[in-house]
Amino acid sequence: MLKSIYRAENREVCAQLRAMREAAGMTQSELSEKFGRFQSFVSTVERGLVRLDVVQTREWCMACGTTLTAFAQAVEARIEALPKS
């Protein structure tokens, strides 16, 4: 079994984080300021090189003007849409 960082589901989590930021009309730099991190951190998260814990994910959501619940629902929808193996 692949480590979770290499799985399609993780790519969908990262894609949703990016989509959420873009839907909020923010650049990586703008989010990094609100999130209290460097732009490079936002980039590494969106590329799947670094994972957020639940508290950080909630902070990311709040910085983007949404909720952890809405994020989780969007991720679930993305994962359900993946081709079944």
Task: Write the pLDDT tens digit of every residue in 51-78.
Answer: 999 999 999 999 999 999 999 999 999 9
Instruction: Report pLDDT digits (tens) over 10-30.
Output: 999 999 999 999 999 999 999
Angle, alpha carbons 27-62-51 (nearest 5°): 70
Give the domains, in start order, of the chain with CATH numbers. 4-80 (1.10.260.40)
Report the predicted TM-score, pTM, of the whole model to 2 decimal places.
Answer: 0.92
pLDDT of residue 47: 96
Both tokens of 48, joined, read: 């799947």
- pLDDT tens digits for 34-55? 989 999 999 999 999 999 999 9
- CB-based burial of residue 28 (10 Å sphere; 0-12 exposed, 13-18 middle, 19+ buried)? buried
